[in-house]
Structure 1
Amino acid sequence: MKQAFLVFLGGGFGSVIRYWISKPLNPLFHNFFLGTFLVNIIGCLLIGLFLGLTARGNVISSNNTLFLATGFCGGFTTFSAFAFEKHSLLKNGDFLNLAIYLISSIGIGVLAVVLGLWIAKHI
């Protein structure tokens, strides 16, 4: 039960922080959801860092991993908003921005995870 509460608590914090970032940033650029993009990339970096530190052993406990990686990063990042925003670009026929957003989100997201793991290994 304690583990579920840690995930719940971390997810709540992550969701609120995502809202605070996405709400003001998403409207800044026409057809590029900057807030969602940034939280997903930052979340990829953080999960790489958290899981990399966990893998090193004795750096982050399993309970803290549940709170940070599963809870916080799970609540902070948002695949559902990402998918919905891609659908709206597709529906509007904006194929160029759809392609740019998809490729950059996935490519930079994977690179951010790798960077997070690298940082965890070298600190």
Structure 2
Amino acid sequence: MMQWVMVAVGGALGAMGRFGVNALIYPTMGGRFPMGTLVVNVVGSVLMGMFYVLIIERGVLPAELRNLLMVGFLGAFTTFSTFSLDSLALWQNGHLALAAAYVALNLVLCLAGTLGAIVLTRLF
């Protein structure tokens, strides 16, 4: 039962974090490019890499935090479904170059963020 509570609490915090990031970034971008979604996906990927090493590989953090941080918080904080919708919206509104750039940036930066975090966290 406690695992479910940890996922739920993490999910609530992650959703609030995503909402907060979007609320801060959206006005600065004028709604033209979904920068908030890109930011949370990259930050979430970096955090996923760090938590993977610290919880799964090294056991520096308690295994119980996996459900809170990796499943709950990052599951709600990162936004692949929103990423998909944002990408399609850009494409359908005739912004093909922006849509392609957005997809490429999400894939490259998130993969690089996760890999970079794993490598760097292993060093410490």
TM-score class, shorter: over 0.9
Kindly indicate whether the alpha-carbon contact (under 8 Å) linking 2:90 and 2:99 is maintained by their aligned counterparts in 1: yes
The 2-side partners of 1:53 and 1:95 are apart by 39
TM-score under structure 2 length normalisation: 0.93
Which shifted more, 4-13 or 50-59?
Answer: 50-59
Q: Percent identity?
A: 28
Alignment of 1:1-123 (within 5 A): 1-29=1-29, 31-123=32-124
SS of residue in 1 equivalent to 2:107: helix
The answer to whether the Cα contact below 8 Å between 1:49 and 1:117 also exists between their aligned partners in 2 is yes
Q: Post-superposition shift, 1:26?
A: 2.4
**1:96 positional shift:** 0.3
Separation of aligned partners in 1, 2:59 and 2:20 = 32
Q: Which ranges of structure 2 fall in alignment gaps of 5 or more residues?
A: none
Unaligned runs of 5+ in 1: none
Output the aligned Cα RMSD: 1.2
Asked if the contact 1:10–1:67 (Cα under 8 Å) also holds between the matched residues in 2, the reply is yes
Whole-angstrom CA distance in 2 between matches of 1:85 and 1:56: 34
Tell me, what secondary structure is at the counterpart of 2:64?
helix
- 1:108: how far off? 0.6
1:7, 1:66 within 8 Å by CA — same for their partners in 2?
Answer: yes
What is the CA–CA distance in structure 2 between the aligned matches of 1:2 and 1:55, rounded to whole Å?
Answer: 19
Q: Which stretches of structure 1, 4 residues or longer, exceed 6 Å deviation after superposition?
A: none
